[in-house]
Structure 1
Amino acid sequence: MKIVFFALPSPFATKLQNFLTKYDERYTVPKSLVIVESPAKAKTIARFLGDDYTVEASVGHIRDLIQPKDVKNDKRFSQSIHAENPTLTKFGIETNSNSSTDPLIKKLQQQLGTKSWMPWYVESLKSQKTITQLKRALKKADALYLATDEDREGEAIAWHLVEVLQPDLPVYRMVFHEITEKAILEALQNTRAIDMNQVSAQETRRILDRVIGYDLSGLSRQVIGGGATGGRVQSPTLRKIVEREKERIRFKSTGYWSATAELKSNNSSSFDAKLIGINHKRVASGKNDFNENGQLKKPEEVVVLSEGNAKKLQEQFTNETLTITSIETSPHRRQPKPPFTTSSFQQEVINKLGGSSGAAMAIAQGLYQNGYITYHRTDSPGLSDQALNAARKEVEQLYGMDYLPDKPRTYVTKSESAQEAHEAIRPAGETFRAPKELRNELNKDQLAVYELIWKRTLASQMTDETGETKRVTFEGEDSQQDIQHVIFSSSGRTINHLGFNQIYQGEPEGLTAQGDAVILPDLQEGEKVSANHIDINSHETKPPARFTEASLVKWMEEAGIGRPSTFAATIGKIQAREYTHKSGRALVPTVKAFVATNFLENEFKNEVQYEYTANLNQKLDLIAEGTLDLDDFLNDWYFETSGWESRIDNIQNQIKVDLPRIRHEAAHSVGQNQETDQYIYARYANQKPYVQISIDGETASLPPILPLDELTVKRAKEFIDIASQPDTVLGWVDREKAIEITSTNQVERILGYDPARGLPVYLRNGSFGEYVSLGDFPKWPPMSSKEGRLMKQPHHLKIIKVACSYLQVAANPDDNNAMKIILNEPKRGIGKRSIENIENIAKTEGISLKEALANQKLLKDKPAKAARKLIRNLDSWESKNVDEPVGFRLRELLIDVGYWKEISRMDKAEDKIKILENLLATLNEFSSIESILTTLSERQELKDAPKPTTASLLEMMSAENITIEDAINVLSLPRELPIKEMIIVEIDPPPKKGESSFKLLKDEMITVHNGPFGPYIRVEGDDCGVQTRSISEDDIFSIDLAACLSLLATPKKFQRRQTKTIILKDTEGKPAVDSVSGKPIEVKTGKFGPYVTDGTTNASLQLGDSIEQITGERAKELLADRRAQQN
C-alpha cells in the first residue's frame, strides 16, 4: 500500500507519507527470513525464493574474539573475578584451570553449564550496521533460515547469528552445495538443527590460533623485532620453505655428460637412441643418481660419463654398427584424474592459468555465489548421482559412446584428514553449461576457471588413454679400446585411443614429451643398425626446486598442515609478513624467514614438527565428530605439566636472562672466513637483514630480497668491505648502488581479494603517500643477479637491440623478427621493397627469413654479396670460438659483420661502445646461450605484463582504517552514469556570456572521478562540450544522475589552477637527474594527463604507470624512449 499526496503542503505531505510507510510495514504479511554469508549469494538466492522470503547477508562473521587490550573495559569484566585469570587478559579467553578431573564432579559441572574455556566474543565494528539490519528484518519474519556454508566456519556463523539475534521464532539450518533453484528448494524441505560439534571444532580452532599465534608472535618479536609473527599453521609451513632453501645451500652441483646416437637400419628412416650403459655399468643420467654433495649414490653400479670419455665414445662408435639385443612391448594405459578438491583445484589453476592460490579461491567464490559451480571448499573428489548423470550425458553428446566407460567412475580421497562433507567442485545444476554459453556472462578469468572445472569434471567420467609402449635396446662392442661395451636405448609410444585427453590435457606420465614423439620403425631382435652420428652434451645437476604456491599447497595437504580452505590465506600471510618474496613463481625465503624459523626450531623442538600441527588437526576432526570434548582437549594441551603454558613460560624466562645467546643461535651461519677463522652470520634486526662477522664484529646491510643460497662468504665479505666506505648507499653493494632500494621504501600489505577478478588488493606506500592497487606489479629479478643486470640494460637503444638480435639469429636461425632488424645493420643496400619480396618468399615456401635470404636471386651484385657475407658469418657462429664466453663470441661476430666498425663512426661513439661493452660483460656471466635467450624472452614478458590499476586514497581515508570495500570502491572510479534520453540543462542563474543551456544527448555519459585536485563530475558531449563540477568526498560513491544534473545546472566556478608538480627522488633521497640532460626530473599533471620532464623532453606516463608508483629509474626510461621516438 503506497499512497503519495502531491497537492498537500510539502511538510504535511512528508509526515503523512512517513506514517503510511510505517503502517504499511507494520501490517505487511510476515515473510521467512533467510540469512546467507555474502550479498552476492543473497542476490542470487532471492531470485529463486520469490516474494515469500526475504534474503539478507551476514557478510561473514558478525562476532570475533575480543582483543586483549579491550578486556578490562568490557562490561563483563569484574576486577574481583577476572583479575587473576591470565588467559583472559592475554588472549581474551576466560579459563577455569581448576576444572575437576573427577568424572562425577565433571558431569555435575557439565549439567550446570560450567565450561573450562569461555571465549569472550564481541560484535565487530564492521558488522554493527549489518546486525541492526538483520534484527529489523527479523521483526517482520515468521521463521528464520540460516543458510550459511556447510563447513565449520559456516556452522559457527549460524550459531553466532542465533546468539546475537536471539530469535523467538522457529529457526532452521538450511544447507546446500550449489546455488541452483532445485538445490535451494530442496534445502528448504530438508532443514536440520545447528551442528554444535562442528561449532565446537571451529571454536577450538579459533582458540588454538589465538593462543599459539599470540604466544609465538610475542616471543618472535622479542627475539627478531617488530613485524615478526608465528602461528599454528603459518610457522610449520614457513619452516618447510626454509628447509628447502637450506637444502639448496648445502647442494653441490656436479657435471656429467650424455650421448644421443642417430641410428638407422637398412630399411628405415633414422631415429634417436640415448646412451644408458658403458662397460656393463649404468650411465648416470640425472639428479636421482647423485646426492646433495655431488657424489654418486651407488658408485658400484653407476658410472659418470666424463667429457673425455664422451668424446672418445663419439669418435669410437660413430659410423659403427650396433646390434638390437631386446625389444620390449607393453600396453599403455592412463586413467583420468579425479574431479577437483579444493587443494587440487588451487594447484591446477596456479599451474595452468598462473596467479596465486588466493586469486584462484576468490574467483571460485564468485562462481559459486552466482550459481555457476558447486561449493569450492571440499576435501572430496566424489560426484553425486546427479553430477555423474550430467557428466556422462555431456560426454556422450560431445564424443560418443566410445569415450564413455560402461559404468560411472567413482573416486574417494586418499587424505586421512579429509572431511568429505561435500562433493567435488563441478559445474552446478542437473545439466552442465558449456563454457561457450557463458562468454557474455563471465569475465576472462572467471571463464578460464569455469572451463578448467568443466573439462576436469567431464574428463573424470571418460575412458582411459590407451596405446602401446615399445623400448628397444642396442649394444655395441670394441674390445680394443677403453670403452669396450655400450648400451643405447630408444623408447616410443603409440596412442590408439585418446580417451579423456580428448578434452583435458594433463601432465604427461612415464615418457617425456620428447620420448612420446619418437616413432620407431619396425625392428627385429638381432638386427644391425648403424650409428650415423652421435651428439654429446654436458649437464649439471640442479639443486632442489623452490616451492611454488602450487607445490606448497600440495605439500600442506599431504602433510596434514591446515585445511584446504585456509591454504591460500596462510601462503598470503607468509608473503605479506615479508617472510618470502616471489622470483617468477618460486617462493624465496628471506633472512627474516631463516631467523624466525631457526628461533622456533631451537626453542620449540617438538612443537615445530609437522606431525604436531597435523595431530592438532586430527583432534579438531575428533571434536567435529563428537568423540572428543573441547574442554578435555584444551585442558590437556594447555594446562598439563608439560603443556603449552609451561613451555611458553620457560622460554619467556630464558629470553629474559639470555636474549643475546638466543638471538645469536637464531642467526643463519653463512660460513667460515678461511683467512681469519671467523664465522659470518646473516641476521635480522630493526626490520632489516644484515651480515655480521662473529658475534660482535663489523656489519653490513643486505638487499632484502637476496636469496641466501647466493650469499657466500666471499659475497658477505664484499658487503662488509664496501659498507666501510663512506660513500656507500645504505651499506648496499651494487654496480649502480641501488640493489632493489624500492623494496625497503615500499611498504605494502594485502587488504583482500577483488571477488570479481580474483586479484589481490594492496595498500602500498609509494613515493607520494599511501595508495591502493589491484593486482601485482611485475616482479623483476634483483640487480644482484645476472638476469637482473641483463634485463636492466638499456634495451631501448638501437645498438643494444641490434646486438641482441645478432645473438638471437645466430642461436636460432628461425627468428624472423631479429633477422629483419639486422638485415641493414650495418647498411648493406637491401631496399625496403626487396625485404618485402624476400619476406613473401619465406611465407610462401614456409621457410625462415634467413633461409630465404640465402636462396634469393633478387638482389643486385653489391647487396647480394653483403647478404652472402652475413649468412656465412651467421652460419660459422656455432663452430667458432665455442669454448669462449658468449659476450666474447658476440663481439667477434659484430666485428666480422662490420657493425662494430659502424658504431665507431657514430656520434658519441665512445659512449656507445662503452654501453655495448657493458652488455657483453653481462653476457659473459651466463653459462649458455639458451639461458640468455630465456632471460631476454622473460624480460619481454615482464615488459608486456599488464600493470595493476592504482588509485590514491581519499582525504577521509587512512592506512589504519581503510577496508577492502573502501579500496575496491576507490579502484572502481571513475563511476559511469549513462544518459538514457536527451536532457536539456538550464543554467541558473544564466551566465552573462555564452549559452544559458546545453543538451545532454542519449548514450552520452556523466562520469565521477577522484582527480589530482579532488573529486569531480565530468561530461563531454556534442552539444555541451566538456563540463566539470567539483563535488565533496562524501558524495563520490553515492551521487546519482539527478544530483549531477542539479550540479551541472549551476554556473561553473572558475579558479586559476597551478600545474601539479612533483620532484622525483633517487635512491639516496636526492633529486633524480636525467642521465642525458643532467637536469632534475619532475612529474607534472598537464592538459593531457600526468607526464615526466627534465625541462627539455616531456614523456607521458604509459599504460600501467601511475603518479603513485613512478620512480626516478622509470622516469629515465620514459624520457629515453621519448628521445628515441623523436630521433
Structure 2
Amino acid sequence: MADRKALGGKKLVIVESPTKMRSIQGYLGDGYQVLSSVGHIRDLADKKDIPADLKKTSVGKYSIDIENGFTPLYVESERGKKTVAELKRALKDADELLLATDEDREGEAIAWHLLQALKPKVPVKRMVFHEITKEAIQAAVEHTRDLDVALVDAQETRRILDRLYGWDVSDVTRRKVGQGTSAGRVQSAATRLVVDRERERMAFVSASYWDIVANATPRDGAPQPFSTRLARLDGAPLARGTDFDDTGALKKAVVVLSEDDARALGAAIEAAGIATVASIEAKPGTRSPKPPFTTSTMQQEAGRKLSMSAKHAMGVAQRLYEKGYITYMRTDSIALSAQAVAAARAQAVALYGDRAVPASPRTYKSKSKNAQEAHEAIRPSGEEFRRPADVASGLDRDEQRLYELIWKRTIASQMSDAAYETTTVVLEIDADGRTASFTASGTVYTFKGFLEAYEEGRDERRGDADSSDDQSLPQLAVGQQVGLTEIEPKGHATTPKPRYTEASLVKALEEKGIGRPSTFASIIDVILERGYVTKRGQALVPSWLAFSVVRLLEQHFTDLVDYDFTAALEDDLDAIARGEQQRVAWLNEFYFGSDRHVGLRNIVDNLGEIDARAINSTPIGDVATLRFGRYGPYLDVPGEEEGSSRIVNVPPDLAPDELTPEKARELIEAPVAGDRVLGVHPETGRTIVVKDGRFGPYVQELVPEPEEPAEPPKRGAKKAVAPKPRTASLFTSMSVDTIDLDQAVRLLSLPRVVGVDPETDTEITAQNGRYGPYLKKGTDSRTLQSEQQLLDITLEEALAIYAQPKYGARAASSALKEFDADPVSGKPIKVKDGRFGPYVTDGTTNVTIPRGQTPDDITFEIAVQMLADKRAKGPAPKRTTTRRTTTRKTPAKK
C-alpha cells in the first residue's frame, strides 16, 4: 500500500457551523476536507453525569475540583460523542489539522476542547478569519497561528465562575423565593437594572406646569407663519420639565405658571396681539457620523429601527456572516481595515459625489482593552461592498433589512460631516404690563454629508418633546413687528424615566461594563424566560418575582449584584485573556476570599436566617402589603379583627409602578365577583352558574349536597360519594358577562356525539382538548378549525373531513422556513407548523421547537443541532405491557 503522505493526504479543517463548512469547502478546494463541530462538543458535567465515586468529593457539588486548582470535570454530549467519532475518522486520512473556530474566547475554547478530544498526531494550526470570502479564507490558510492558551483560560474561568455563582446563589433563591428562580453573575445585575428603573418610577412624584404656544406671522413681507413658545416672563425663565427633580421639587429658580395664571396671561397676550423681534442669533454647527457597528450598537439599532429583539438580531447577523455577506458579528472593535475604508469611500463617492467624503479617511479607535479580541467592526464583506439591491435575491426579509442597516452605517462612517445653521429668534410683547418673551428656533442643513446615507436612531427620552427646531423660519429683522395668533395655554406634567427597552438595556449594560456584547442577547433572553421581565410593546416591565429575587440578593449577596463589582469581574476576565492574571489564583480569591473580597464560600456559609416572608413583601403605602406567593402576587390586607387579614388578587397585567396606594385601595374596595346564576338545566333540573377560575372562565352544573342518612351507616359499609359536578370551559369568543343559559347547556353537552360512520359503524364525537377542538372516531382524530364547530358540525361535514388524507391540508401548505440539506441525512430542512406547534424536520426526524422560541429564532445551525440531538437520543422507548398471570391454587383436599 502506497504511503499516504507520499500521495499527499488532505488537510482537515474544523469549523463550528455546518453553513460555514460548505462555503469554506468551495473556497479551499479538493486538497482540504472541511467538517463542522456543530458548536460545543463537551461542557461541565451535570449532577446526573458525575461518577458515583466522585459524588462525595468537592467535584460532586459543582463538577469542579475546587480543592485542586478548580479543575473542571468535562463530559461530551451525546451529539458531541458522535461528532468526535466522525472527526477522528476523518483525521486518520489527514496530514494536518486546521482549527478554524471563531476567533473569540468561546471559539478558542471550542478549539482547545477539540484538541483534548481528538488527540491528533499530525501538526495542528489555528486558522482565523473575520469574513467568509475566498480571499479571506485563502489568507487565513497562509497566516495560521498557535492556540491562544490565555483566551482559553479566560473562557474556562468564566464558565467555572458562572457555575459556582449560579449553583450556590440559585439554591438560596429557590428555597427563599420559589422554585424555578435562579441567579447569575450577569443576569442578576441585568434584572436589578430593570427593577431599579421601576423603583425610580414608583418613587417618582409628578409636577405640573403651564406655558403658552402661539403662531407668529411677520407683518411685513411674505406671510410665513412659524410656531413660538413662551420662554421668559419679565426676564425670568419659565419652568420646563427638566427644571424639576424626581420628587417634583424645583432644581432652580424659575417661574411656574398655574392654569389660571397661564389662561389670564394668554388672554392679555391675545389682546395685545403684536410682538416685536428683540434678537436674532444664528449659530453654525457640524455633526459627525457614528463609527461602524460593534455587536452592541448593532443590537441597539436593530431594536430601534427594525424592532428586532437582541436575540433575533444576533440570529440574523449570524446567518449573514455564515453566508458570506458581513464580517464577524461578535466584536467590540469600531476599527475598519484599509480595504474596507477604501470600499466605503469609493461607494460613497459613487452614490453621493466627491464632496461626500473628507480628504482623509476617518479612523476610529477601538475601546476594547483586549487586543487579542479586537476584531474589525461589523461591515459588509469583501473588497467591494455589495449594495442591498444586489443581494436581495439571496436573503430573506430580515436578512435584507439588517444587511442594509449595516451597509448604510458602514458607508456613512466614512462620509463628511453634516453642516447646519440654527437660528433662534426672540419675540417680546407687552401683556398687561408684563413683558412676555417668546422664542422660536429653526435648523437648516447647509450640507447633508453623512445624513444622505444614515442617521442613528434615538431611545425614548424624558422632558419636553419639542420638534420646533425642524421648522423653517422666515427672513426677519430686529425691531420688526410680528402678529401673534392661535394663542394656546398648555398644561404639562413631568414624567418618570422611561422603562428600558432591549436596545436601551443593551446600552446600559455596555456603559456599566456588565457582561460582553456577544452575551447581551442571551442575558435578555434568560430574564424574559425566567419571568423576571415581560415585554409591554418594546418596554421591559419587571415582575414582582424579580423584586423578590433582587431584594434577596441585595440584602444577602450585596457584592455579587453590585454594578461596579460585576464590571470589575469582567475586567479581571479580560486581564486573564491578555495573560496578565492567572486563572487559578483569581478563582481562589473569588471563591475562598482575600483582603479585598469576602469570597463566595464565606458569603454562602454565613448567610444566617433569611426571612422568606419579608423577602417576598413590598409595602404599598399604609394600605396593604404586596406579597409574592406560590401562585403569584397578591395584596395582604389587614382585617377588622386584630391579627386577621384577607387576600386580594392583583391583576396580572398591572405593572409594579401602577400599583399605587390609590390603585390598591380601588382593588380592595371593588366588589367581589361571585358566581352568576344562568338558570336551571332543562333536563337535570340543576342550577348552572358561570365562574371565573384560575385557568379561565367556565360554566358549572351545581350538584346538591347528599342528604344525611336516617340511620348511621353500618360498620365497613362504603361511604356514599357525591357525584362530581359537570364543568365546561368557555370558548375564546365567549364572555362571563354575556353567556346565557342556552350556550351554557350546549357547552355542558360536550363531548357531543356527531353521529355514526356508516362504513365502520364507529361513533364520531366532537371534543375540546388541550390543543383545541377536534373530532374523534375510535383512535383516529382530526383537528377542527374553530370551537363553534364543536356545537354545529354535522355528520356529513365530519365524514367529509375524515375522507381527506390526514394532515393533508397542512402537508399541502408551504413550510414556515426552508434551509439547505442536513449534513447527516442529506435532505432539506424545513420549519413547519404542526398540530402541536411549530417543529423542525428533514423529512425523517422531527423536533418540536422548545417553548419560548419562535420559528424566527431558528437558524440553519440551530436546526442541524436540534436534529442531531434528537437522533443521538434514538427513538422513544415503546411502552411495554407486562401481562399479568395468575396461578390458580389447587383447592385443599377435604
TM-score norm. by structure 1 comes to: 0.60
Distance 1:163 1:723 in 2: 68
Residue identity opposite 1:280 in structure 2: G
Q: Which residue of 1 aligns with 2:260?
A: 308
SS across alignment from 2:51: helix
SS across alignment from 1:543: coil
SS across alignment from 1:1091: coil
Aligned length: 723
2:444 paired with 1:494: yes
Q: Which residue of 2 aligns with 1:207?
A: 160
CA-to-aligned-CA distance 1:738-769 (integer Å, 9 cap, x gap): 699579xxxxxxxxxxxxxxxxxxxxxxxx9x
Contact 1:722 1:728 in 2 (8 A): no
1:194 offset after TM fit, Å? 0.4
Among 222, 235, 248, the alignment partner of 1:294 is 248
Distance 2:584 2:669 in 1: 58
Residue identity opposite 1:170 in structure 2: P
SS across alignment from 2:394: coil
Distance 2:203 2:258 in 1: 24
1:530 offset after TM fit, Å? 2.2
Matches within 5 A, 1:677-826: 680-686=624-630, 688-693=632-637, 697-716=645-664, 719=667, 727=675
SS across alignment from 1:693: strand
Matches within 5 A, 1:667-686: 667-673=617-623, 680-686=624-630
Contact 1:379 1:419 in 2 (8 A): no
Contact 1:465 1:497 in 2 (8 A): yes
Contact 1:64 1:123 in 2 (8 A): yes
CA distance 1:696–1:586, shift in 2 (3 Å): farther
Distance 1:190 1:1109 in 2: 47
Q: Which residue of 2 aligns with 1:93?
A: 64
1:256 offset after TM fit, Å? 2.0
Q: Which residue of 2 aligns with 1:68?
A: 47
CA distance 1:285–1:57, shift in 2 (3 Å): same
Contact 1:31 1:143 in 2 (8 A): yes
1:261 offset after TM fit, Å? 1.7
Distance 1:742 1:503 in 2: 52
SS across alignment from 1:395: helix
Matches within 5 A, 1:1037-1116: 1061-1063=766-768, 1083=774, 1090-1093=785-788
Matches within 5 A, 1:154-303: 154-265=107-218, 266-269=220-223, 270-286=225-241, 288-298=242-252, 301-303=253-255
Contact 1:575 1:581 in 2 (8 A): yes
5+ residue gaps in structure 1? 1-21, 97-114, 674-679, 730-735, 744-767, 769-790, 795-910, 913-1053, 1067-1080, 1111-1127
CA distance 1:1056–1:465, shift in 2 (3 Å): farther
CA distance 1:663–1:721, shift in 2 (3 Å): same
Residue identity opposite 1:669 in structure 2: P
1:463 offset after TM fit, Å? 1.0
1:28 offset after TM fit, Å? 8.2
Matches within 5 A, 1:886-905: none
TM-score norm. by structure 2 comes to: 0.75
Contact 1:378 1:423 in 2 (8 A): yes
CA-to-aligned-CA distance 1:256-304 (integer Å, 9 cap, x gap): 2221121122224222111111232211222x12122222222xx2122
Matches within 5 A, 1:308-457: 308-318=260-270, 319-414=272-367, 421-457=374-410
Contact 2:370 2:578 in 1 (8 A): no
Q: Which residue of 2 aligns with 1:533?
A: 486
- Structure with the higher fraction of residues in helix conformation: 1
Residue identity opposite 2:628 in structure 1: Y
CA distance 1:208–1:450, shift in 2 (3 Å): same
Distance 2:375 2:470 in 1: 41
Q: Which residue of 2 aligns with 1:591?
A: 544
Distance 2:275 2:762 in 1: 86
Among 5, 11, 18, the alignment partner of 1:32 is 11
Contact 2:767 2:790 in 1 (8 A): no
Q: Which residue of 2 aligns with 1:562?
A: 515
Residue identity opposite 1:173 in structure 2: R
Residue identity opposite 1:90 in structure 2: K
CA distance 1:1087–1:173, shift in 2 (3 Å): closer
CA-to-aligned-CA distance 1:1043-1091 (integer Å, 9 cap, x gap): xxxxxxxxxxx9788767332699xxxxxxxxxxxxxx95559999623
Q: Which residue of 2 aligns with 1:940?
A: none
Residue identity opposite 2:236 in structure 1: K
Residue identity opposite 1:66 in structure 2: A
CA-to-aligned-CA distance 1:1019-1051 (integer Å, 9 cap, x gap): xxxxxxxxxxxxxxxxxxxxxxxxxxxxxxxxx
1:719 offset after TM fit, Å? 4.8
Distance 1:721 1:492 in 2: 53
SS across alignment from 1:598: helix
1:593 offset after TM fit, Å? 0.5
Comparing 591-600 with 1087-1096, which one deviates more in the overlay?
1087-1096
Q: Which residue of 1 aligns with 2:882?
A: none
Query: What is the percent sequence identity of the aligned residues?
Result: 42
1:631 offset after TM fit, Å? 1.0
Contact 1:690 1:701 in 2 (8 A): yes
Distance 2:692 2:656 in 1: 19
Among 407, 412, 417, the alignment partner of 1:459 is 412
Distance 2:691 2:204 in 1: 30
Distance 2:619 2:676 in 1: 25
SS across alignment from 1:161: helix
Among 7, 11, 35, the alignment partner of 1:56 is 35
Distance 1:37 1:1109 in 2: 29
Matches within 5 A, 1:929-1008: none
Distance 1:402 1:506 in 2: 21
Residue identity opposite 2:248 in structure 1: G
Q: Which residue of 2 aligns with 1:603?
A: 556
SS across alignment from 1:169: coil
1:26 offset after TM fit, Å? 12
1:402 offset after TM fit, Å? 1.3
Distance 2:140 2:676 in 1: 68
Contact 1:323 1:526 in 2 (8 A): yes
Contact 2:277 2:478 in 1 (8 A): yes
By relative contact order (CA 8 Å, sep 6+), the higher-ranking structure is 2
Contact 1:227 1:687 in 2 (8 A): no
